[in-house]
Every structure is written in structure tokens, then in C-alpha cells.
């Protein structure tokens, strides 16, 4: 094609020549890798900023950090020990780099209270919180998507009204209060579920599950409600699209259109909300764990605040932030994979 | 009205009412027409005249929800389309009657490959494996002249131009060899140069497959190109029906006359484009008399009487109360 | 050209018409109910110190943990014999003031940063957004807990912590609205005739950011209230004998098996307040006819 012939040929007639050849079709993969790379880099940078923030938490301590952290009745020796451990006599960036050096090697310092490595404490609590968070996010996704689809297909009818009221209330209710009410009703009153504590899945899978139900539901309430709203609005918007009418004109059933077409089109924004809610859930689990006396990261965090155990607190906060970064990264990737337009 | 015996589709007294804040208002009313096998009927009118609404009612997209109701009959292959169950309707759609829509840019699902979308429609109606359906889909894409169909079947809609998307939609429509195709302004959203290609393709498909077609458009020029007969709609009613050549040569209804006059043409002796002053009434403002009267320059007081579509010669009908007497009046 | 540009500049078309806005809002019964509920809550919060039937801080060891409906104590008494109704009234005052404080801090920090990021773009936007993303990598409640824990447990520290943890949301919102408005023709017109930046920001951009910001503030106030309740529940917010609804839940938790009703009323109060804020926010959003993200 030379530029001169361009003028004589209308764009429409040239159209067929623009078809991508099989060779060109490899580009999306390259694009995917490139966007993966840039997102990975961004996540790493964010990790850097997050460590700086977590490290900077110690700067918020009023007065002399060592004195303050040692608490009442501290001996000069214990104050000196803390000063030594935190390296408080050195300039801040040296402190940061030596702390960072530990962090990347998995050394988060030693707990002031337990006198054991923070990383060990975290690892012991991690499966508990992960079990709870996973239970909650699965429950939230199941409820949110089913109730949202139901509402979207029955707009203005009873099922829509009920689920919408439920989710509006769900978003406004503190999760730990939901937990308390569930606790009162289902374990204190009706004794259906155990009130407090946690059993590892390796010890007894049924007990593990039973212990997770109430805190899991409490934690899932807000996320499920948020997902229901999102599903309802995006699915009902999709159902009014021209391409749904096309599919119906082909003879596809309403059910098929709903579960295949609407769900796949609604998936990218839903994935984003799931990611967002997963992050919120991690934070929310702190108080819910306290209500159900679940020995997870949340109770560890609360204890570390009460005990002024700075290394442990920093460790929990950092670990949570890492999870959020990972969740966001995964959400971005899932969004890209699900959305053909972004992919190319 | 042609005799219903040899007709493929015969619509009688189609009426669609919509609940506007508690008042049932007919949007389309007293619509009767028929289409013979292999014949193309043009449904013509301004936007809001009820041409798309009529087609949507036949396909069951309108008239079945709450707040809408449909009456009349639409006999198609011995069955009344307006009285099918949802399941019967689904097995009819895309199989016996297919539809092509106005907006190729938004009528394809952005989340699925086009090959998959065509194949999905095939698998609903034909007992084939996924692989066979894929092959049939590629075949259909070949038929509508999508170059490199096998490769293109793996592309997503956004990788296609508007014209190509409309080809995909046509491929979807013909994939199950329907006996009738409803094309709702299939070229309106396309570039002028692409419009001609799509029209040529539709004509070719119609001839190759022996398709009957209802072609909805507001463009009289397109009607002349593709249609055998036409029904002109105004404000939810058919005002004139007849053979394309006869109607173009001697329009019987003043509205048809004005539509034809508004058609741009190289041979036009007038210096400027004709236009019809005013705008069509909304369904809530429909009157019992001639609905075009307020915009008609041949209006008499008697035009407030109720109108009927009268057969004036075999296959030709007119709704104008003045018959063709208005033609003697001076055009100015 | 300049005449046209000036007339375009004079009326910012996106500015919300107050009359049509209130008319549309009035048509939404749920949003109006939220507004009424908030007005009642605010009134109660204002006059609470003078209308409590009992001294909310005075223990009465002869009337400990009375159930609701006991003579003289409509909602019963707590573990120290204090009247729950009186404490709910005072606690509401504390909770609402806390919500205002936290939201205020988030807006004071977030709005200017969002404006700067959105309006100037380029590297300054990148830097601000990077740190916004960094802060948003922490679950708000956890970060607030850490900050409040380190600063020392009291309500002001908790509200500073919550404000700082939620400020990034304000930055994002304001930046987003500025970005969408910045490309509008009338802004370009204003720029082309040499209107100084600060004037564009205050005369044309701010009024348009304001509407979504109001919606956001209402919903943020609800979120802040929930976080405050969480912090006070674990003892990092309001300190005894002072009460906030969250703190009341915290002490109720210790008596959950003996006196479960203690846990009911404060929770209901929180839920109603947050609900009112949310539905009002949603209603305002629907009335200004623009998309605002939660």
C-alpha cells in the first residue's frame, strides 16, 4: 500500500487488509507481560513506602521512645536494652536500613513482652486469621453475588427490596457488634455454635469450621452487603445492554444470558470490589477476633498495643499491608485477564 | 392487505399498550401487514412512529413485561407469535425468525469472542458439538464475507470495525437458516460507504437463502434499493401500504408524499431539501382522527374523523380520509 | 472568541442548581428519612447534657445491671448502676462529635492535596498519589489502631489517627473530580483568556468538586463512626468514665453472658446513625445527578 492509492480507496474497502495476522496476535501476551512487570514494580515501590511508614510509626511515640516503651517501673537497664535493640542512638536512616535489612531477611525484631522473634509470633497467628478471612470472603462472595443477581433480575419486586434493605443495613452495622449479637443468640442462647476460641483445622476440621461460622459471618456481613450492591447495579446495567438483546434474539434463555453473559461482563468490577473488601476485611478482623477470643493477628495486634510491644505491632501492621498490596496486585491482574479490552 | 394464505407472516391488528403512570396508552395500534416467503417488506417512518416497537413486539421483546400488553395476532408458520410461551419463543428466536439490530457497536457482547457468540446461537437450536458449532460459525462468517474467518472468530468485538461487526451480527442471524429476518435500521449507525456494502450483503443473503425480510428504516432511498413492498408508519399506525414501485410513482397518503419529497436526490429540481414541519406526536397525545393532520397541508375539518386503512387496489392501502383527492391541490 | 470564552467561563455548567437539587432530594423518601434522623440525632447530641434523666457518670451500686424496663431506668443500668438511657444520650454526643472531628481532619488533609494533585498533575500528582496508595495499603482500622495506640489512648488521638488513615480516600475523590472537570471546555476557555490558576481552582473547580465532596463526607462520616466504635470498643478511643457508643459496647462485652441487652442499644444507635448518613449520601448523590463513588 502506497500513500497515493490511499486516496482512491475508501477506508471501508481497505478494511479487510487490516485483519491481524497470526503473528500479530502474540502482542496481547507481550502487553500482558509488560503490564504485569510494571504492576510488579509498582507493588515493590509501594512495599518500600509501606515499610517506611511502619518504621515511621516509632517516631510518633511521645517523649523518649525508650522510656515510653519500657513502661512504668522500668529499670534503667531495660530502657537501655530497648534503646539498644531499636538502635535509637543512631541517625534515623541508619536505623531504617538496619531494620529493613532485618525485614527482607524475615527478621522483624524481638517482642518486648514475649522475648521471642516477632516473625515466629506472626507465623503462629497467621493461619488463624487467614482461615477467618478466607471463610468470610467466601461467604461474602456467595451471598453478595447470589443476592445481587436475584435483586438485579427482580428489580422493584419483593426479593429486590428485601436483599437491598439487608445490604443497606449490613453496610451500616459495625461488624464486631454483629458478632456480639450472633454470639448472644447462637452460642449463649441457643448454643448452636461455640462461643469463643479456635481449633486448628489439622486438629479437628469440624470444630475448626464451627468456630469460624459466627466470626466469619460477622466479618462477611459488610463485605457481602457491599458486593450485593455492586452486583445488583452492574448486573442490572448489563441486562439493559444491546448485546443482551442480541443474545436473546439468538434464542438464548434468560437464565443462560444471566449466568454466562451478565456474570462474565460484570466480573471485572466485581473482582475489584472483592479485592477491596478483602483488604477491608483484614482490618475488620482485628475487632471481630477480639469478640470471639480468636488467637489471630488481630488479637496479637490489640495485645501489642496494650503491652506497648512496638516490634510486634509493627510486624502485624506490616504483614497486613503486604497482604493488601498482594491482594491489589492480584486484583489488577485478574481484572486485566477478565477484561478483553484492557488486555490488548 | 395481501391474502394471508400464502403469507409467511401475517400480522393482524397488532396493538401494544404501555402503562404510563396508570393509563394504558397504545404505542402501536391497528397494525396489519403480511410478508410472503422471500419477500422484503420495508417498514418506514420517522423515529417514534412505532416501526421498531412493532418488530420488538413480534419478537416478544415488548408486550410481555409488567406494564406492557400486546393484542392482535401474528401468524407465523401456523403459530401465533403473540401467544407463544417463553420457551416456544426462545426456540423460535434465532431459529425461525432472526433479528439484526441498529447498533453494531453495542450489539455484540464485549466479553466473548465473536466465534463463540455465533456458535452459542447455533448450539441453542442445533444438536451439534461445540467443535461442530464452531465450524458452522466460521462457515457463517465466511458467508457474510468476513475475510480470514477462522482467525477472526477468535477475536473480540472491539477488534472489529462497525461494518465488520454488522457482518458478524448478520452471520449470527443467518447461522441457523431462519425463514425470516427482521433488520432494524441495520445501516443507520454505519458510515455511508459501509452502508452500501451491508445493504448489498443483506440483499445477497436474502436471495441466496430465500429469506423473507422485514426491513425497518427511515430512509426511503434504502427502501427503493432493498424492498419489494413497503408499509409507511406514522404515530403508531400504518398510513399506506403497497408495492415499492407503485408507491414511489404515486404515493397515496400525503405523509408518504412528504417523505418521498424529503428524500435527497441528485436529480431533484428543488434547490434545497424538503422537510416536514413539526414533529410526530407522542403516544400520550394520539388523537382519534388522522394523526398526521396537524402537520398536513391538505388538512380539512373532516380529517378529525376516525381513520381506517382502506384497500384501494390489490395490495395497496391508504389511510388518508381524503383518498387521493388531495393530489389535485397545489403543492406549495 | 474572547467574548465567547468569557461567557463560557461565567457559567460553569456543571454547577448544581440548588432548587432542582432540593426538589429531587425531596422526592426521595428514604434520603429524607435519613436527613430527619440525622437532625434528630444532632439535636439530641446538642442538648444531651441537659436532658439526661440521670447523671450518666454517677454509679449506683444498689441498681447494678438492671434489665430494660426496670422502674426509672427505661433501658436498664450498666455494671456500675449507671442509667443506660442517659449514657446513650451522652455517648451519642461523643460519637457524633468524634465522627465530625475525624471527617474534618480527613477533609482538611485530603482536599488540598487532592486539588493540588488533580489540578497540577505531572510529578506532583505522581508523588501525592504514590503516598496515597501507600497509606491505602494499610487497613484503615489497623493503621488507626496503631497510630492511636502509639500516641496514647484518648479520643483526640483516635480521631487524628482515623482522620489520617481515611484522608487518602478524600485525596482520591477530589483528584478524580478535578481531573474530570479540568478537561471541560469552560475551564479551557478560562485558561485560554489567562485566568490565574488560583482563580480557576476557587471559582470554577471548587464549586464542582463540592457536590461530590458533600456526598463523600456524609458517607465518610459513617465510616469514621464505625472505626471510632471499633477503636473505643478495644479501649483505644474514649476513656472511662466517658462514654461513646463504641466504648459502651466495649464494657457491655464484659457482661455479655449476664446482661446481653447492654450490647443491643449502643449497636442499634451506631447502625441507625451510619445508616442515616449513608442513605442521605446516596440520596444527595442521586439528586445531583453525577456519579460519585462510595
Asked if C touches A (at least 3 Cβ pairs < 8 angstroms), the answer reads yes
Which ipTM value was assigned to this complex? 0.89
Asked if A touches B (at least 3 Cβ pairs < 8 angstroms), the answer reads yes
Per-residue pLDDT tens over the stretch C39-59? 999 999 899 888 888 888 888
Fold of C43-54+76-288: MetI-like fold (1.10.3720)
Question: What was the pLDDT predicted at B270?
Answer: 55
CA C210 from centre of chain: 15
- Match 397494525 to its residue by C-alpha cell: B31
Contacts of C126 in chain A (CB under 8 A): none
The domain segmentation of chain A, as residue ranges, is 121-305+320-342
Assigned C-alpha cell, A227: 458486593
Mutate: best of C127, C146, C247, partner A, most A CBs <10 A: C146
Question: What was the pLDDT predicted at A178?
Answer: 96
pLDDT band at A21 (very low <50, low <70, confident <90, very high): very low
Who among A11, A249, A261 is closest to B94 (CB)?
A249
Assigned C-alpha cell, A324: 493488601
pLDDT band at A5 (very low <50, low <70, confident <90, very high): very low
Contacts of A248 in chain B (CB under 8 A): 61, 93
- pLDDT above 70 coverage of chain B, percent: 94
Per-residue pLDDT tens over the stretch A289-308? 999 999 999 999 999 998 88
The per-residue pLDDT of chain B, averaged, comes to: 89
Question: What was the pLDDT predicted at A344?
Answer: 42
Q: Measure the CA–CA gap between B86 and A117, rounded to whole angstroms.
A: 67
- Match 408518504 to its residue by C-alpha cell: B256
Q: DSSP per residue over C208-262, as a string?
A: HHHHHHHHHHHHHHHHHHHHHHHHHHTTSSS-TTS--HHHHHHHHHTTTTT-GGG
Q: Measure the CA–CA gap between C266 and C245, rounded to whole angstroms.
A: 5
A180/C235 CB distance under 8 A: no
Assigned C-alpha cell, C250: 466495649
The answer to whether the CB of C102 falls within 8 A of the CB of C162 is yes
Question: What was the pLDDT predicted at A342?
Answer: 58
Question: With helix as H, strand as E and coil as C, how does chain A read?
Answer: CCHHHHHHCCHHHHHHHHCCCCCHHHHHHHHHHHHHHHHHHHHHHHHHHHHHHHHHHHHHCCCCHHHHHHCCCCCHHHHHHHHHHHCCCCCHHHHHHHHHHHHHCCCCCECCCCCCEHHHHHHHHHHHHHHHHHHHHHHHHHHHHHHHHHHHHCCCCHHHHHHHHHHHHHHHCCHHHHHHHHHHHHHHHCCCCCCCCCCCCCCCHHHHHHHHHHHHHHHHHHHHHHHHHHHHHHHHHHHCCHHHHHHHHCCCCHHHHHHHHHHHHHHHHHHHHHHHHHHHHHHHHHHHHHHCCCCCHHHHHHHHHHCCCHHHHHHHHHHHHHHHHHHHHHHHHHHHHHCHHHHC
CATH architecture of residue range(s) B9-108+160-328: 3-Layer(aba) Sandwich (3.40)
Q: Measure the CA–CA gap between A89 and A340, rounded to whole angstroms.
A: 55
Question: What was the pLDDT predicted at A222?
Answer: 92
Q: Measure the CA–CA gap between C109 and C105, rounded to whole angstroms.
A: 6
Measured between CB atoms, does A172 come within 8 Å of chain C?
Answer: yes
Q: Angle at the Cα of C125 (from C120 to C128), degrees rounded to 5?
A: 130
Measured between CB atoms, does A167 come within 8 Å of chain C?
Answer: no
Per-residue pLDDT tens over the stretch A108-165? 888 888 889 999 999 999 999 999 999 999 999 999 999 999 999 988 889 999 999 9
Q: Measure the CA–CA gap between C149 and C141, rounded to whole angstroms.
A: 12
Q: Which H/E stretch holds residue C35?
A: helix C29-51
More confident residue, A64 or C245: C245
Fold of A121-305+320-342: MetI-like fold (1.10.3720)
B108/A246 CB distance under 8 A: yes
C150/A174 CB distance under 8 A: no
pLDDT (tens, 9 = 90+) of chain C, 294 residues, equals: 344 444 434 444 445 566 677 788 888 888 899 999 999 999 998 998 888 888 888 888 888 888 888 888 888 888 888 999 999 999 999 999 999 999 999 999 999 999 999 888 889 999 999 989 999 999 989 999 999 988 888 888 899 999 999 999 999 999 998 888 887 888 888 888 888 888 888 888 888 888 889 999 999 999 999 999 999 999 998 888 888 999 999 999 999 988 999 999 999 999 999 999 999 998 888 887 554 444
The chains found to touch C (3+ Cβ pairs under 8 angstroms) are: A
> For the residues B252-275, what does the mean pLDDT come to?
74
Q: Is the pLDDT of residue A9 over 70?
A: no
Chains A & B: contacts with CB separation below 8 Å? 103
Q: Is the pLDDT of residue B322 over 70?
A: yes
* Total Cβ atoms within 10 A of residue B84: 18
Q: Measure the CA–CA gap between B324 and B246, rounded to whole angstroms.
A: 14
- Match 449470527 to its residue by C-alpha cell: B172
Question: What was the pLDDT predicted at C42?
Answer: 92
> For the residues A256-283, what does the mean pLDDT come to?
90
Question: What was the pLDDT predicted at A28?
Answer: 60
Per-residue pLDDT tens over the stretch B74-131? 999 989 999 999 999 999 999 999 999 988 889 999 999 999 999 999 999 999 999 9
Per-residue pLDDT tens over the stretch B132-170? 999 999 999 999 999 999 999 999 999 999 999 999 999
Q: Which H/E stretch holds residue C126?
A: helix C122-136
More confident residue, A221 or B266: A221
Question: What was the pLDDT predicted at A38?
Answer: 87
Specify the pTM: 0.84
Amino acid at each position: 500500500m502506497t500513500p497515493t492509492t490511499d486516496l482512491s480507496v475508501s477506508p471501508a474497502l481497505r478494511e479487510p487488509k487490516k485483519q491481524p495476522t497470526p503473528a500479530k496476535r502474540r502482542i496481547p501476551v507481550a502487553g500482558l507481560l509488560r503490564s504485569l512487570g510494571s504492576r510488579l514494580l509498582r507493588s515493590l515501590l509501594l512495599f518500600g513506602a509501606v515499610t517506611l511508614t511502619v518504621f515511621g510509626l516509632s517516631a510518633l511515640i511521645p517523649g523518649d521512645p525508650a522510656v515510653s516503651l519500657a513502661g512504668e517501673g522500668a529499670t534503667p537497664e531495660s530502657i537501655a536494652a530497648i534503646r539498644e535493640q531499636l538502635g535509637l542512638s543512631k541517625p534515623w536512616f541508619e536505623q531504617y536500613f538496619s531494620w529493613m535489612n532485618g525485614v527482607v531477611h524475615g527478621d522483624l525484631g524481638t517482642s518486648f513482652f514475649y522475648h521471642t522473634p516477632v516473625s515466629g509470633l506472626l507465623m503462629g497467628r497467621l493461619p488463624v486469621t487467614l482461615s477467618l478471612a478466607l471463610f468470610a470472603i467466601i461467604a461474602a462472595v456467595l451471598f453478595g453475588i447470589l443476592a445481587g443477581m436475584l435483586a438485579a433480575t427482580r428489580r422493584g419486586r419483593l426479593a429486590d427490596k428485601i436483599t437491598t434493605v439487608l445490604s443497606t443495613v449490613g453496610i451500616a452495622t459495625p461488624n464486631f457488634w454483629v458478632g456480639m449479637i450472633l454470639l448472644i443468640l447462637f452460642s449463649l442462647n441457643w448454643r448452636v455454635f461455640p462461643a469463643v476460641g479456635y481449633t486448628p483445622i489439622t486438629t479437628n476440621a469440624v470444630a475448626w469450621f464451627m468456630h469460624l461460622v459466627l466470626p466469619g459471618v460477622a466479618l462477611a456481613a459488610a463485605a457481602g452487603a457491599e458486593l450485593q450492591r455492586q452486583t445488583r447495579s452492574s448486573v442490572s446495567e448489563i441486562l439493559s445492554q444491546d448485546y443482551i438483546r442480541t443474545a436473546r434474539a439468538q434464542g438464548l434463555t434468560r437464565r443462560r444470558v444471566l449466568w454466562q453473559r451478565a456474570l462474565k461482563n460484570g466480573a471485572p468490577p466485581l473482582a475489584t470490589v472483592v479485592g477491596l473488601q478483602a483488604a477491608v476485611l483484614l482490618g475488620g478482623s482485628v475487632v471481630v477476633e477480639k469478640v470471639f477470643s480468636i488467637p489471630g493477628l488481630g488479637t496479637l495486634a490489640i495485645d501489642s498495643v496494650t503491652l506497648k510491644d512496638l516490634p510486634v505491632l509493627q510486624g502485624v501492621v506490616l504483614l497486613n499491608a503486604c497482604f493488601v498490596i498482594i491482594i491489589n496486585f492480584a486484583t489488577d491482574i485478574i481484572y486485566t485477564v477478565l477484561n478483553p479490552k484492557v488486555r490488548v | 392487505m395481501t391474502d394471508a394464505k400464502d403469507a409467511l407472516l401475517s400480522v393482524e391488528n397488532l396493538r401494544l399498550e404501555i402503562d404510563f403512570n396508570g393509563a394504558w396508552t397504545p404505542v402501536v395500534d391497528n397494525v396489519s401487514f403480511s410478508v410472503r416467503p422471500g419477500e422484503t417488506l420495508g417498514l418506514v417512518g420517522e423515529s417514534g412512529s412505532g416501526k421498531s416497537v412493532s418488530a420488538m413486539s413480534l419478537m416478544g421483546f415488548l408486550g410481555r413485561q409488567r406494564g406492557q400488553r400486546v393484542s392482535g395476532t401474528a401468524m407465523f408458520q401456523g403459530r401465533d407469535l403473540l401467544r407463544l410461551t417463553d420457551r416456544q419463543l426462545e426456540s423460535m428466536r434465532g431459529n425461525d425468525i432472526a433479528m439484526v439490530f441498529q447498533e453494531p457497536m453495542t450489539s455484540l457482547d464485549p466479553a466473548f469472542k465473536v466465534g463463540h457468540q455465533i456458535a452459542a446461537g447455533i448450539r441453542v437450536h442445533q444438536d451439534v458439538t461445540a467443535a461442530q458449532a464452531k465450524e458452522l460459525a466460521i462457515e457463517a462468517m465466511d458467508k457474510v464475507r468476513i475475510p480470514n474467518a477462522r482467525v477472526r472468530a477468535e477475536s473480540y468485538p472491539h477488534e472489529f470495525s462497525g461494518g465488520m461487526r454488522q457482518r458478524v451480527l448478520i452471520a449470527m442471524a443467518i447461522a441457523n437458516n431462519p425463514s425470516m429476518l427482521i433488520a432494524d435500521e441495520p445501516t443507520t449507525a454505519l458510515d455511508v460507504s459501509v452502508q452500501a456494502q451491508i445493504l448489498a450483503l443483506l440483499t445477497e443473503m436474502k436471495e441466496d437463502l430465500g429469506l423473507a425480510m422485514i426491513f425497518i428504516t427511515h430512509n426511503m432511498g434504502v427502501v427503493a434499493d432493498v424492498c419489494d413492498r413497503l408499509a409507511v408508519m406514522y404515530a403508531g399506525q400504518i398510513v399506506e401500504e403497497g408495492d415499492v414501485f407503485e408507491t414511489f410513482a404515486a404515493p397515496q397518503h400525503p405523509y408518504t408524499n412528504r417523505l418521498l419529497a424529503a428524500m435527497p436526490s441528485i436529480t431533484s429540481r428543488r434547490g434545497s431539501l424538503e422537510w416536514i414541519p413539526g414533529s410526530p406526536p407522542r403516544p400520550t397525545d394520539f388523537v382519534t382522527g388522522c394523526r398526521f393532520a396537524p402537520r398536513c397541508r391538505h388538512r380539512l375539518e373532516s380529517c378529525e374523523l376516525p381513520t381506517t386503512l382502506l384497500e384501494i387496489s390489490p395490495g395497496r392501502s391508504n389511510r388518508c380520509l381524503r383518498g387521493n383527492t388531495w393530489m389535485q391541490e397545489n403543492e406549495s | 472568541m474572547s467574548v465567547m470564552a468569557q461567557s463560557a467561563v461565567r457559567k460553569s455548567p456543571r454547577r448544581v442548581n440548588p432548587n432542582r437539587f432540593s426538589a429531587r432530594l425531596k422526592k426521595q423518601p428514604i434520603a429524607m428519612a435519613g436527613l430527619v434522623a440525622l437532625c434528630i440525632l444532632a439535636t439530641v447530641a446538642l442538648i444531651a447534657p441537659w436532658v439526661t434523666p440521670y447523671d450518666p457518670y454517677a454509679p449506683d451500686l444498689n441498681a447494678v445491671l438492671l434489665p430494660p424496663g426496670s422502674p426509672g431506668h427505661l433501658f436498664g443500668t450498666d455494671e456500675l448502676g449507671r442509667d443506660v438511657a442517659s449514657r446513650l444520650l451522652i455517648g451519642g454526643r461523643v460519637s457524633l462529635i468524634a465522627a465530625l472531628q475525624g471527617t474534618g481532619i480527613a477533609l482538611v488533609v485530603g482536599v488540598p492535596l487532592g486539588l493540588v494533585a488533580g489540578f497540577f498533575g505531572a510529578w506532583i500528582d505522581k508523588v501525592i498519589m504514590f503516598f496515597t496508595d501507600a497509606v491505602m495499603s494499610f487497613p484503615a482500622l489497623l493503621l488507626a489502631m496503631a497510630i492511636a495506640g502509639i500516641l496514647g489512648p484518648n479520643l483526640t488521638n483516635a480521631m487524628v489517627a482515623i482522620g489520617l488513615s481515611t484522608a487518602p480516600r478524600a485525596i482520591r475523590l477530589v483528584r478524580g473530580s478535578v481531573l474530570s472537570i479540568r478537561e471541560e471546555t469552560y475551564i479551557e476557555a478560562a485558561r485560554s483568556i489567562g485566568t490565574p490558576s488560583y482563580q480557576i481552582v476557587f471559582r470554577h473547580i471548587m464549586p464542582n468538586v463540592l457536590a461530590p465532596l458533600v456526598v463523600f463526607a456524609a458517607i465518610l462520616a459513617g465510616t469514621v463512626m464505625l472505626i471510632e466504635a471499633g477503636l473505643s470498643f478495644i479501649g483505644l478511643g474514649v476513656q472511662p468514665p466517658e462514654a461513646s457508643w463504641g466504648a459502651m459496647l466495649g464494657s457491655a462485652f464484659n457482661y455479655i453472658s449476664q446482661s446481653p441487652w447492654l450490647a443491643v442499644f449502643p449497636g442499634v444507635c451506631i447502625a441507625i446513625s451510619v445508616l442515616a448518613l449513608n442513605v442521605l449520601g446516596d440520596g444527595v448523590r442521586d439528586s445531583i445527578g453525577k456519579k460519585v463513588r462510595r
